[in-house]
Structure 1
Amino acid sequence: MHSLQFTHSSSSDGVTERDFLVGGVPGVLWSPSSGADRAPLVLMGHGGGNHKKHPAMAGRARLLVTGCGFHVAVLDAPGHGDRPRSEHDEREIAELFRAREAGEPEGPVVVRYNDHLARIAVPELRAALDALQELPEIGPDGPVGYFGLNMGTAIGVPFVAAEPRITAAVLGQHWPDRLAGKAKEITVPVEYAMQWDDEHIPREAALALFDAFASKEKTLHANSGRHKELPRFEADSAVRFLARHLVRPGEASGA
Protein backbone atom coordinates (compact mmCIF):
# COMPACT_ATOMS: atom_id res chain seq x y z
CA MET A 1 0.00 0.00 0.00
CA HIS A 2 1.28 3.47 -0.87
CA SER A 3 1.79 5.94 1.97
CA LEU A 4 0.96 9.63 1.83
CA GLN A 5 3.95 11.95 1.38
CA PHE A 6 3.23 15.59 2.20
CA THR A 7 5.29 18.02 0.14
CA HIS A 8 3.97 21.47 1.14
CA SER A 9 1.65 23.00 3.71
CA SER A 10 0.04 26.42 4.20
CA SER A 11 -2.83 27.80 6.28
CA SER A 12 -5.25 30.69 5.94
CA ASP A 13 -8.67 31.61 7.36
CA GLY A 14 -8.89 28.45 9.43
CA VAL A 15 -8.09 26.08 6.58
CA THR A 16 -4.84 24.12 6.18
CA GLU A 17 -3.90 23.11 2.64
CA ARG A 18 -1.39 20.27 2.24
CA ASP A 19 0.00 19.06 -1.08
CA PHE A 20 0.83 15.38 -1.19
CA LEU A 21 1.94 12.50 -3.35
CA VAL A 22 0.52 9.00 -3.14
CA GLY A 23 2.00 6.41 -5.46
CA GLY A 24 3.44 9.27 -7.50
CA VAL A 25 0.00 10.85 -8.03
CA PRO A 26 -0.23 14.50 -6.87
CA GLY A 27 -3.10 15.56 -4.65
CA VAL A 28 -4.17 18.19 -2.15
CA LEU A 29 -5.82 17.84 1.25
CA TRP A 30 -7.76 20.67 2.87
CA SER A 31 -8.41 20.35 6.62
CA PRO A 32 -9.54 22.48 9.57
CA SER A 33 -6.52 24.28 11.01
CA SER A 34 -7.66 23.63 14.58
CA GLY A 35 -8.94 20.50 16.24
CA ALA A 36 -7.38 17.06 16.28
CA ASP A 37 -10.64 15.10 16.48
CA ARG A 38 -11.48 12.76 13.65
CA ALA A 39 -13.78 14.17 10.99
CA PRO A 40 -15.44 12.87 7.81
CA LEU A 41 -13.56 12.91 4.51
CA VAL A 42 -14.89 14.08 1.15
CA LEU A 43 -13.07 13.06 -2.03
CA MET A 44 -13.69 15.40 -4.95
CA GLY A 45 -13.18 14.97 -8.68
CA HIS A 46 -12.36 17.95 -10.89
CA GLY A 47 -13.72 18.68 -14.35
CA GLY A 48 -12.06 17.98 -17.68
CA GLY A 49 -9.21 20.32 -18.54
CA ASN A 50 -8.96 21.49 -14.91
CA HIS A 51 -6.86 20.40 -11.95
CA LYS A 52 -6.92 19.66 -8.23
CA LYS A 53 -6.65 23.32 -7.17
CA HIS A 54 -9.00 24.81 -9.74
CA PRO A 55 -11.05 27.60 -8.10
CA ALA A 56 -14.15 25.41 -8.16
CA MET A 57 -12.31 22.72 -6.19
CA ALA A 58 -10.78 25.16 -3.71
CA GLY A 59 -14.10 26.96 -3.22
CA ARG A 60 -16.09 23.79 -2.60
CA ALA A 61 -13.39 22.46 -0.31
CA ARG A 62 -13.45 25.60 1.83
CA LEU A 63 -17.23 25.36 2.15
CA LEU A 64 -16.90 21.79 3.41
CA VAL A 65 -14.00 22.55 5.75
CA THR A 66 -15.28 25.78 7.29
CA GLY A 67 -18.96 24.88 7.23
CA CYS A 68 -18.78 21.25 8.31
CA GLY A 69 -15.29 20.66 9.73
CA PHE A 70 -14.64 18.01 7.07
CA HIS A 71 -11.38 17.00 5.37
CA VAL A 72 -11.42 17.31 1.56
CA ALA A 73 -8.99 15.70 -0.88
CA VAL A 74 -8.57 15.99 -4.66
CA LEU A 75 -6.18 14.14 -6.98
CA ASP A 76 -5.03 15.41 -10.34
CA ALA A 77 -6.72 13.15 -12.88
CA PRO A 78 -4.49 11.37 -15.42
CA GLY A 79 -3.16 13.84 -17.98
CA HIS A 80 -4.30 16.84 -15.91
CA GLY A 81 -2.73 19.36 -13.56
CA ASP A 82 0.78 18.37 -12.56
CA ARG A 83 0.60 15.04 -14.41
CA PRO A 84 2.11 14.64 -17.88
CA ARG A 85 -0.05 14.01 -20.91
CA SER A 86 0.38 10.74 -22.75
CA GLU A 87 0.22 10.37 -26.53
CA HIS A 88 -3.29 9.03 -26.03
CA ASP A 89 -4.23 12.18 -24.09
CA GLU A 90 -2.89 14.40 -26.85
CA ARG A 91 -4.79 12.52 -29.57
CA GLU A 92 -8.09 12.66 -27.71
CA ILE A 93 -7.72 16.34 -26.83
CA ALA A 94 -6.89 17.15 -30.44
CA GLU A 95 -9.95 15.22 -31.59
CA LEU A 96 -12.14 17.10 -29.10
CA PHE A 97 -10.93 20.46 -30.41
CA ARG A 98 -11.42 19.28 -34.01
CA ALA A 99 -15.01 18.24 -33.30
CA ARG A 100 -15.68 21.52 -31.50
CA GLU A 101 -14.32 23.64 -34.35
CA ALA A 102 -16.31 21.60 -36.88
CA GLY A 103 -19.52 22.08 -34.93
CA GLU A 104 -19.83 18.34 -34.32
CA PRO A 105 -21.17 16.83 -31.07
CA GLU A 106 -18.49 16.64 -28.37
CA GLY A 107 -20.18 13.84 -26.46
CA PRO A 108 -18.74 10.82 -28.29
CA VAL A 109 -15.17 12.05 -27.80
CA VAL A 110 -15.66 13.14 -24.18
CA VAL A 111 -17.42 9.90 -23.21
CA ARG A 112 -14.71 7.74 -24.79
CA TYR A 113 -11.81 9.73 -23.34
CA ASN A 114 -13.30 10.05 -19.87
CA ASP A 115 -13.96 6.31 -19.79
CA HIS A 116 -10.28 5.74 -20.52
CA LEU A 117 -9.24 8.16 -17.75
CA ALA A 118 -11.62 6.54 -15.25
CA ARG A 119 -10.00 3.15 -15.76
CA ILE A 120 -6.73 4.67 -14.54
CA ALA A 121 -8.14 7.04 -11.94
CA VAL A 122 -10.43 4.69 -10.00
CA PRO A 123 -7.61 2.47 -8.66
CA GLU A 124 -5.64 5.64 -7.85
CA LEU A 125 -8.55 7.07 -5.87
CA ARG A 126 -8.97 3.85 -3.94
CA ALA A 127 -5.25 3.80 -3.09
CA ALA A 128 -5.43 7.45 -2.00
CA LEU A 129 -8.41 6.66 0.23
CA ASP A 130 -6.42 3.84 1.83
CA ALA A 131 -3.56 6.25 2.56
CA LEU A 132 -5.78 9.10 3.77
CA GLN A 133 -7.52 6.82 6.23
CA GLU A 134 -4.14 6.08 7.79
CA LEU A 135 -3.99 9.69 8.99
CA PRO A 136 -5.03 9.97 12.65
CA GLU A 137 -7.26 12.97 11.96
CA ILE A 138 -9.29 10.92 9.46
CA GLY A 139 -9.04 7.30 10.58
CA PRO A 140 -10.27 4.08 8.98
CA ASP A 141 -13.86 4.02 10.22
CA GLY A 142 -15.25 7.49 9.48
CA PRO A 143 -17.81 8.27 6.79
CA VAL A 144 -16.54 9.20 3.32
CA GLY A 145 -18.35 11.22 0.66
CA TYR A 146 -17.68 11.91 -3.00
CA PHE A 147 -18.34 15.15 -4.94
CA GLY A 148 -17.62 15.40 -8.66
CA LEU A 149 -19.33 16.91 -11.71
CA ASN A 150 -18.60 16.54 -15.43
CA MET A 151 -15.41 14.45 -15.70
CA GLY A 152 -15.62 14.14 -11.92
CA THR A 153 -18.80 12.15 -12.52
CA ALA A 154 -17.25 10.04 -15.27
CA ILE A 155 -14.61 8.98 -12.73
CA GLY A 156 -16.91 9.16 -9.71
CA VAL A 157 -19.64 6.77 -10.88
CA PRO A 158 -17.32 3.74 -11.34
CA PHE A 159 -15.40 4.76 -8.21
CA VAL A 160 -18.50 4.94 -6.00
CA ALA A 161 -19.80 1.69 -7.54
CA ALA A 162 -16.54 -0.07 -6.66
CA GLU A 163 -15.92 1.51 -3.25
CA PRO A 164 -18.05 0.32 -0.29
CA ARG A 165 -16.58 3.01 1.98
CA ILE A 166 -18.50 5.80 0.21
CA THR A 167 -21.50 6.94 2.25
CA ALA A 168 -23.06 9.49 -0.15
CA ALA A 169 -22.23 11.12 -3.48
CA VAL A 170 -22.88 14.36 -5.37
CA LEU A 171 -22.69 13.82 -9.13
CA GLY A 172 -23.96 15.32 -12.37
CA GLN A 173 -23.55 16.77 -15.84
CA HIS A 174 -22.51 13.74 -17.83
CA TRP A 175 -23.79 11.37 -20.48
CA PRO A 176 -25.15 7.93 -19.48
CA ASP A 177 -23.03 6.11 -22.06
CA ARG A 178 -20.61 3.76 -20.28
CA LEU A 179 -21.89 5.00 -16.88
CA ALA A 180 -25.47 3.73 -16.64
CA GLY A 181 -24.39 0.15 -15.94
CA LYS A 182 -22.19 1.24 -13.04
CA ALA A 183 -24.87 3.65 -11.80
CA LYS A 184 -27.19 0.66 -11.38
CA GLU A 185 -24.71 -0.71 -8.82
CA ILE A 186 -24.86 2.44 -6.66
CA THR A 187 -27.28 2.35 -3.73
CA VAL A 188 -25.94 5.14 -1.48
CA PRO A 189 -27.78 8.49 -1.38
CA VAL A 190 -27.09 10.58 -4.49
CA GLU A 191 -27.68 14.25 -5.30
CA TYR A 192 -27.55 14.79 -9.05
CA ALA A 193 -27.27 18.12 -10.90
CA MET A 194 -28.10 18.82 -14.54
CA GLN A 195 -28.64 21.83 -16.77
CA TRP A 196 -32.03 21.82 -18.47
CA ASP A 197 -30.72 23.68 -21.52
CA ASP A 198 -27.34 21.94 -21.76
CA GLU A 199 -26.02 22.34 -25.31
CA HIS A 200 -23.80 19.25 -25.03
CA ILE A 201 -25.74 16.72 -22.94
CA PRO A 202 -29.29 16.19 -24.22
CA ARG A 203 -31.96 16.48 -21.54
CA GLU A 204 -33.03 12.88 -22.13
CA ALA A 205 -29.45 11.67 -21.65
CA ALA A 206 -29.03 13.49 -18.34
CA LEU A 207 -32.33 12.10 -17.08
CA ALA A 208 -31.36 8.59 -18.19
CA LEU A 209 -28.23 8.65 -16.04
CA PHE A 210 -30.15 9.92 -13.03
CA ASP A 211 -32.77 7.22 -13.55
CA ALA A 212 -30.07 4.52 -13.63
CA PHE A 213 -28.95 5.01 -10.02
CA ALA A 214 -30.31 2.26 -7.78
CA SER A 215 -30.27 4.52 -4.72
CA LYS A 216 -33.47 4.58 -2.67
CA GLU A 217 -32.64 8.19 -1.86
CA LYS A 218 -31.69 10.22 -4.91
CA THR A 219 -32.46 13.83 -5.65
CA LEU A 220 -32.45 15.55 -9.05
CA HIS A 221 -31.52 19.23 -9.26
CA ALA A 222 -32.43 20.54 -12.74
CA ASN A 223 -31.57 24.18 -13.35
CA SER A 224 -32.32 26.28 -16.40
CA GLY A 225 -29.26 27.32 -18.36
CA ARG A 226 -26.46 25.97 -20.51
CA HIS A 227 -23.69 23.54 -19.59
CA LYS A 228 -21.39 26.03 -17.87
CA GLU A 229 -24.19 27.96 -16.15
CA LEU A 230 -24.67 25.65 -13.17
CA PRO A 231 -25.74 27.99 -10.34
CA ARG A 232 -23.26 28.62 -7.57
CA PHE A 233 -25.89 27.77 -4.98
CA GLU A 234 -25.64 24.12 -6.06
CA ALA A 235 -22.34 23.99 -4.16
CA ASP A 236 -24.15 25.09 -1.00
CA SER A 237 -26.78 22.43 -1.59
CA ALA A 238 -24.09 19.79 -2.04
CA VAL A 239 -22.49 20.80 1.26
CA ARG A 240 -25.82 20.46 3.07
CA PHE A 241 -26.44 17.08 1.44
CA LEU A 242 -23.02 15.74 2.43
CA ALA A 243 -23.32 17.13 5.95
CA ARG A 244 -26.68 15.41 6.33
CA HIS A 245 -25.25 12.03 5.36
CA LEU A 246 -21.71 12.18 6.76
CA VAL A 247 -22.35 13.69 10.19
CA ARG A 248 -23.37 10.96 12.57
CA PRO A 249 -26.20 11.46 15.09
CA GLY A 250 -24.98 13.43 18.10
CA GLU A 251 -22.09 15.02 16.19
CA ALA A 252 -22.04 18.74 15.48
CA SER A 253 -21.91 20.28 12.02
CA GLY A 254 -21.55 23.86 10.90
CA ALA A 255 -23.80 23.31 7.84
Structure 2
Amino acid sequence: MEPKHNSAQRVHAAAAALLADPALLVRCLSDPTVFEKEGFCGGEFDLDKMRLFAGLATKVRHNDLRVKIPCSFMLLDRLKLSIPLFASYSVAAAALRASGKNAVLDKIEAFGDFLSTWIDPKNLEHRLAWDMFRHEHNRLILASASFADASSSCGSKCPRPVGMVRHNAFSCNPLELEIAVRRGGSFKKIRRGGIHYLYQRRDIESGIRIFAVDPLAAVIVSLADGRRGISEITLALKGAGLPVVADQMRASVATLIHMQILTE
Protein backbone atom coordinates (compact mmCIF):
# COMPACT_ATOMS: atom_id res chain seq x y z
CA MET A 1 0.00 0.00 0.00
CA GLU A 2 1.28 3.44 -0.87
CA PRO A 3 2.15 5.66 2.14
CA LYS A 4 -0.51 8.22 2.95
CA HIS A 5 1.96 11.06 2.68
CA ASN A 6 2.63 10.14 -0.98
CA SER A 7 -1.09 10.20 -1.72
CA ALA A 8 -1.43 13.56 0.04
CA GLN A 9 1.48 14.93 -1.96
CA ARG A 10 -0.22 13.94 -5.21
CA VAL A 11 -3.43 15.67 -4.14
CA HIS A 12 -1.53 18.82 -3.19
CA ALA A 13 0.36 18.74 -6.48
CA ALA A 14 -2.89 18.33 -8.42
CA ALA A 15 -4.51 21.19 -6.52
CA ALA A 16 -1.55 23.48 -7.18
CA ALA A 17 -1.53 22.59 -10.87
CA LEU A 18 -5.24 23.20 -11.32
CA LEU A 19 -5.22 26.50 -9.41
CA ALA A 20 -2.27 27.68 -11.48
CA ASP A 21 -4.00 26.74 -14.74
CA PRO A 22 -7.80 27.25 -14.64
CA ALA A 23 -8.03 26.22 -18.30
CA LEU A 24 -6.67 22.79 -17.33
CA LEU A 25 -9.35 22.52 -14.66
CA VAL A 26 -12.04 23.28 -17.24
CA ARG A 27 -10.66 20.59 -19.54
CA CYS A 28 -10.60 18.09 -16.69
CA LEU A 29 -14.20 18.88 -15.81
CA SER A 30 -15.35 18.40 -19.40
CA ASP A 31 -13.26 15.27 -19.94
CA PRO A 32 -12.25 13.26 -16.80
CA THR A 33 -9.62 11.35 -18.77
CA VAL A 34 -7.58 14.55 -19.07
CA PHE A 35 -7.02 14.47 -15.32
CA GLU A 36 -5.41 11.05 -15.45
CA LYS A 37 -3.44 11.90 -18.59
CA GLU A 38 -1.87 14.73 -16.60
CA GLY A 39 -0.61 12.16 -14.13
CA PHE A 40 -3.24 12.61 -11.42
CA CYS A 41 -5.57 10.04 -9.91
CA GLY A 42 -9.19 11.01 -10.35
CA GLY A 43 -10.40 8.89 -7.45
CA GLU A 44 -8.55 11.06 -4.96
CA PHE A 45 -9.91 14.35 -6.15
CA ASP A 46 -13.25 16.21 -6.25
CA LEU A 47 -13.02 18.39 -9.34
CA ASP A 48 -16.31 20.16 -8.65
CA LYS A 49 -15.09 21.28 -5.23
CA MET A 50 -11.78 22.32 -6.78
CA ARG A 51 -13.69 24.49 -9.26
CA LEU A 52 -15.37 26.33 -6.38
CA PHE A 53 -12.05 26.67 -4.59
CA ALA A 54 -10.58 28.14 -7.78
CA GLY A 55 -13.48 30.60 -7.76
CA LEU A 56 -12.61 31.64 -4.23
CA ALA A 57 -8.94 32.06 -5.18
CA THR A 58 -9.90 34.19 -8.18
CA LYS A 59 -12.19 36.32 -6.03
CA VAL A 60 -9.39 36.94 -3.53
CA ARG A 61 -7.12 38.05 -6.38
CA HIS A 62 -9.73 40.70 -7.19
CA ASN A 63 -9.86 42.34 -3.77
CA ASP A 64 -8.56 45.56 -5.36
CA LEU A 65 -11.81 45.72 -7.33
CA ARG A 66 -13.83 45.49 -4.12
CA VAL A 67 -12.44 48.89 -3.11
CA LYS A 68 -13.70 50.48 -6.35
CA ILE A 69 -17.05 48.66 -6.72
CA PRO A 70 -17.85 47.61 -3.14
CA CYS A 71 -21.62 47.29 -3.51
CA SER A 72 -21.25 44.94 -6.47
CA PHE A 73 -19.16 42.60 -4.34
CA MET A 74 -21.49 42.96 -1.36
CA LEU A 75 -24.50 42.11 -3.51
CA LEU A 76 -22.81 39.13 -5.17
CA ASP A 77 -21.93 37.79 -1.73
CA ARG A 78 -25.43 38.37 -0.41
CA LEU A 79 -27.00 36.60 -3.39
CA LYS A 80 -24.44 33.77 -3.10
CA LEU A 81 -23.34 34.38 -6.67
CA SER A 82 -19.74 35.42 -6.10
CA ILE A 83 -18.10 31.98 -5.93
CA PRO A 84 -19.95 30.49 -8.94
CA LEU A 85 -19.28 33.70 -10.90
CA PHE A 86 -15.57 33.84 -10.13
CA ALA A 87 -15.25 30.10 -10.73
CA SER A 88 -16.55 30.69 -14.25
CA TYR A 89 -14.39 33.79 -14.63
CA SER A 90 -11.14 32.13 -13.53
CA VAL A 91 -9.95 31.25 -17.06
CA ALA A 92 -10.55 34.76 -18.42
CA ALA A 93 -8.95 36.28 -15.30
CA ALA A 94 -5.85 34.13 -15.74
CA ALA A 95 -5.57 35.19 -19.38
CA LEU A 96 -5.85 38.84 -18.37
CA ARG A 97 -3.05 38.40 -15.81
CA ALA A 98 -0.88 36.67 -18.40
CA SER A 99 -1.37 39.59 -20.78
CA GLY A 100 -0.01 41.97 -18.14
CA LYS A 101 -3.24 43.95 -17.78
CA ASN A 102 -3.22 44.24 -14.01
CA ALA A 103 -4.42 47.84 -13.62
CA VAL A 104 -7.62 48.08 -11.59
CA LEU A 105 -9.61 49.77 -14.35
CA ASP A 106 -8.50 47.13 -16.88
CA LYS A 107 -9.61 44.40 -14.50
CA ILE A 108 -12.97 46.08 -13.89
CA GLU A 109 -13.61 46.46 -17.63
CA ALA A 110 -12.74 42.80 -18.23
CA PHE A 111 -14.86 41.66 -15.30
CA GLY A 112 -17.80 43.71 -16.56
CA ASP A 113 -17.47 42.27 -20.06
CA PHE A 114 -17.56 38.76 -18.62
CA LEU A 115 -20.44 39.52 -16.25
CA SER A 116 -22.53 40.77 -19.18
CA THR A 117 -22.27 37.34 -20.81
CA TRP A 118 -22.56 35.30 -17.61
CA ILE A 119 -25.84 36.68 -16.29
CA ASP A 120 -29.18 35.15 -17.17
CA PRO A 121 -31.50 38.07 -18.15
CA LYS A 122 -34.49 36.05 -16.93
CA ASN A 123 -32.98 35.66 -13.46
CA LEU A 124 -34.06 38.45 -11.09
CA GLU A 125 -30.96 38.16 -8.91
CA HIS A 126 -28.66 38.20 -11.93
CA ARG A 127 -30.36 41.38 -13.18
CA LEU A 128 -29.82 43.04 -9.81
CA ALA A 129 -26.13 42.14 -9.92
CA TRP A 130 -25.83 43.56 -13.45
CA ASP A 131 -27.63 46.76 -12.42
CA MET A 132 -25.38 47.21 -9.42
CA PHE A 133 -22.19 46.73 -11.42
CA ARG A 134 -23.18 49.21 -14.13
CA HIS A 135 -24.26 51.76 -11.54
CA GLU A 136 -20.88 51.66 -9.82
CA HIS A 137 -18.98 51.37 -13.10
CA ASN A 138 -20.62 54.51 -14.51
CA ARG A 139 -19.69 56.51 -11.44
CA LEU A 140 -16.14 55.16 -11.49
CA ILE A 141 -15.64 56.12 -15.15
CA LEU A 142 -16.98 59.62 -14.59
CA ALA A 143 -14.96 60.11 -11.40
CA SER A 144 -11.75 59.22 -13.24
CA ALA A 145 -12.50 61.30 -16.37
CA SER A 146 -9.83 63.83 -17.34
CA PHE A 147 -12.04 65.90 -19.70
CA ALA A 148 -9.07 66.25 -22.03
CA ASP A 149 -11.20 65.63 -25.13
CA ALA A 150 -14.02 68.11 -25.47
CA SER A 151 -16.80 67.22 -27.89
CA SER A 152 -16.81 69.25 -31.09
CA SER A 153 -19.74 71.31 -32.30
CA CYS A 154 -20.85 72.36 -35.75
CA GLY A 155 -22.35 75.55 -34.31
CA SER A 156 -25.92 76.36 -33.39
CA LYS A 157 -28.69 73.79 -33.55
CA CYS A 158 -26.33 70.86 -33.03
CA PRO A 159 -26.99 69.53 -29.52
CA ARG A 160 -24.15 67.91 -27.62
CA PRO A 161 -23.66 66.64 -24.05
CA VAL A 162 -22.57 68.99 -21.32
CA GLY A 163 -19.41 67.35 -20.00
CA MET A 164 -19.39 63.56 -19.92
CA VAL A 165 -22.65 61.58 -19.92
CA ARG A 166 -23.29 57.85 -19.65
CA HIS A 167 -26.62 56.06 -19.54
CA ASN A 168 -28.09 52.59 -19.17
CA ALA A 169 -31.47 50.90 -19.01
CA PHE A 170 -31.82 49.26 -15.61
CA SER A 171 -34.24 46.64 -14.32
CA CYS A 172 -34.69 48.66 -11.12
CA ASN A 173 -33.82 51.98 -9.50
CA PRO A 174 -30.03 51.66 -9.01
CA LEU A 175 -29.94 54.32 -6.29
CA GLU A 176 -32.50 52.43 -4.21
CA LEU A 177 -30.63 49.20 -4.89
CA GLU A 178 -27.39 50.68 -3.59
CA ILE A 179 -29.09 51.83 -0.40
CA ALA A 180 -30.61 48.38 0.14
CA VAL A 181 -27.22 46.73 -0.38
CA ARG A 182 -25.36 49.07 1.98
CA ARG A 183 -28.01 48.82 4.70
CA GLY A 184 -28.79 45.14 4.25
CA GLY A 185 -32.38 46.02 3.46
CA SER A 186 -35.01 44.19 1.46
CA PHE A 187 -35.09 44.37 -2.33
CA LYS A 188 -38.87 43.99 -2.45
CA LYS A 189 -39.61 47.72 -2.14
CA ILE A 190 -37.20 48.78 -4.88
CA ARG A 191 -38.92 50.23 -7.94
CA ARG A 192 -38.77 47.71 -10.78
CA GLY A 193 -39.22 47.92 -14.53
CA GLY A 194 -37.16 49.26 -17.42
CA ILE A 195 -35.78 52.57 -16.14
CA HIS A 196 -33.22 54.71 -17.99
CA TYR A 197 -30.72 56.56 -15.84
CA LEU A 198 -28.24 59.19 -16.93
CA TYR A 199 -24.92 59.77 -15.16
CA GLN A 200 -23.33 63.14 -15.82
CA ARG A 201 -20.23 65.02 -14.79
CA ARG A 202 -20.12 68.47 -16.33
CA ASP A 203 -16.45 69.30 -15.77
CA ILE A 204 -13.41 68.43 -13.71
CA GLU A 205 -14.67 70.55 -10.81
CA SER A 206 -18.18 69.06 -10.77
CA GLY A 207 -19.67 66.14 -8.93
CA ILE A 208 -21.70 63.39 -10.56
CA ARG A 209 -25.41 63.85 -11.21
CA ILE A 210 -27.71 60.85 -11.57
CA PHE A 211 -31.33 61.02 -12.68
CA ALA A 212 -34.01 59.05 -14.48
CA VAL A 213 -35.06 59.96 -18.04
CA ASP A 214 -37.50 58.53 -20.54
CA PRO A 215 -36.25 56.17 -23.29
CA LEU A 216 -36.43 58.87 -25.99
CA ALA A 217 -34.25 61.23 -23.98
CA ALA A 218 -31.69 58.47 -23.44
CA VAL A 219 -31.50 57.78 -27.19
CA ILE A 220 -31.22 61.49 -28.02
CA VAL A 221 -28.30 61.90 -25.62
CA SER A 222 -26.52 58.96 -27.25
CA LEU A 223 -26.94 60.55 -30.72
CA ALA A 224 -26.26 64.18 -29.75
CA ASP A 225 -22.60 64.46 -30.74
CA GLY A 226 -22.38 68.16 -31.63
CA ARG A 227 -22.33 67.38 -35.35
CA ARG A 228 -25.96 66.44 -36.00
CA GLY A 229 -28.89 68.78 -35.75
CA ILE A 230 -32.33 67.89 -34.41
CA SER A 231 -33.64 67.09 -37.90
CA GLU A 232 -30.76 64.69 -38.53
CA ILE A 233 -31.29 62.97 -35.19
CA THR A 234 -35.00 62.67 -35.99
CA LEU A 235 -34.21 61.04 -39.34
CA ALA A 236 -31.79 58.62 -37.63
CA LEU A 237 -34.49 57.58 -35.17
CA LYS A 238 -37.08 57.17 -37.90
CA GLY A 239 -34.59 55.10 -39.87
CA ALA A 240 -34.30 52.83 -36.85
CA GLY A 241 -38.07 52.38 -36.85
CA LEU A 242 -38.89 54.72 -33.96
CA PRO A 243 -42.10 56.74 -34.52
CA VAL A 244 -40.99 60.25 -33.54
CA VAL A 245 -42.06 63.62 -34.90
CA ALA A 246 -40.13 66.87 -35.11
CA ASP A 247 -42.18 68.65 -32.43
CA GLN A 248 -41.65 65.77 -30.01
CA MET A 249 -37.91 65.84 -30.69
CA ARG A 250 -37.64 69.60 -30.21
CA ALA A 251 -39.54 69.40 -26.93
CA SER A 252 -37.35 66.59 -25.64
CA VAL A 253 -34.12 68.35 -26.64
CA ALA A 254 -35.36 71.57 -25.03
CA THR A 255 -36.00 69.69 -21.79
CA LEU A 256 -32.53 68.15 -21.86
CA ILE A 257 -31.00 71.58 -22.44
CA HIS A 258 -33.03 73.02 -19.56
CA MET A 259 -31.71 70.19 -17.36
CA GLN A 260 -28.17 71.12 -18.50
CA ILE A 261 -27.63 67.64 -19.90
CA LEU A 262 -27.30 68.97 -23.46
CA THR A 263 -26.21 72.28 -24.90
CA GLU A 264 -26.15 73.78 -28.38
Q: Name the structure with the higher strand share.
A: 1
Higher RCO (CA < 8 A, seq sep 6+): 1
TM-score interval, smaller chain? under 0.3
Pair member with larger Rg: 2
TM-score normalised per structure 1 = 0.24
TM-score normalised per structure 2: 0.23
